[in-house]
Amino acid sequence: MMINELKELLIREGAAEVGFSSVTPPPEYPSLTNAVTIAVRLSDAVIDAVSNGPTHTYFHHYRTVNAFLDRLALTAGLYLQNHGGQYVCVPASQSIEGFSGLFSHKEAAVKAGLGTIGRSALYLSDRFGPRVRLATVLTDLDLSAGFQPISKNNPCKDCAACVTACPAMAISGRAYTPGQNDIIDRNACSTHMKQAYQKIGRGVVCGICVSVCPAGKIKL
């Protein structure tokens, strides 16, 4: 079956998780109503070292994983094309307008049943918590054979570790509900990162909320 073959291919190439979902595509690509979600697990050693802010190693790791995800996405896209489909690879990390990219990786991952969205607005994999990065491939091929139910997992519950740890005080602490975009102050988060960490490199991200999240500290 194409779905199993594609999933096995991506995992063999280094993906930690692969999922499939039906999505509302960007207006530019109205026929691409199905999505392949690809997750790559971040290094626990690197994330555990992010205590008071990002390290140079974390910044390099973040960019390297993003580039690797883009390669995996292209691998998936070419596979889909070879099976008669159209595809668009959504970049692992790219802002087009404000803080938004072409398409929400988190939306596709949640619809694929791989995880949920936490109080920090981070995507929380059921297996790895926030310690993953995502890529998405949009396609017009039927992927319904790979669909699975939405996750009912709720790792946040009464936890407020990210709220307390956030140096920008950008996390409201409210639980996420679909369509809600104000549980974090994105401007406060972005401004703090630029002011506090720019010396590490252009485009550096903080990572503290990823590091402190208990959902990511479960050793498998």
Structure tokens at 194: 């630029």
User: Which residue type is seen at 64?
Assistant: T
How many Å apart are CA 197 and CA 174, to the nearest integer?
Answer: 26
The full DSSP string for 15-57 is -SEEEEEE----TT-TT--EEEEEEEEPPHHHHHT-SSS--HH
User: How far, in Å, are 131, 153, 161, 162, 185 from residue 126 at the CA level?
Assistant: 11, 7, 18, 17, 25
pTM of the predicted model as reported, rounded to 2 decimal places: 0.93
* pLDDT per residue as tens, the chain (220 positions): 699 999 999 999 999 999 999 999 999 999 999 999 999 999 999 999 998 899 999 999 999 999 999 999 999 999 999 999 999 999 998 766 655 678 999 999 999 999 999 999 999 999 999 999 999 999 999 999 999 999 999 999 989 999 999 999 999 988 887 777 789 998 899 899 888 888 898 888 999 999 999 998 875 5
Q: Cβ neighbours of residue 98 under 8 Å, at least 6 residues apart?
A: 186
Mean pLDDT of the chain: 93
How many Å apart are CA 128 and CA 39, to the nearest integer?
Answer: 10
6 burial level (CB within 10 Å; 0-12, 13-18, 19+)? buried
Q: How many CB atoms neighbour CB 47 within 10 A?
A: 22
Domain count, the chain: 1
**According to the model, what pLDDT value does residue 95 have?**
64
**According to the model, what pLDDT value does residue 96 have?**
66
Q: What is the pLDDT of residues 91-116, one digit of tens each?
A: 998 766 655 678 999 999 999 999 99
How many Å apart are CA 135 and CA 113, to the nearest integer?
Answer: 15
**According to the model, what pLDDT value does residue 1 have?**
60
Task: State the residue range of the domain holding 49.
Answer: 2-216
**According to the model, what pLDDT value does residue 98 have?**
58
How many Å apart are CA 46 and CA 63, to the nearest integer?
Answer: 13
User: How far, in Å, are 91, 120, 195 from residue 189 at the CA level?
Assistant: 22, 11, 10
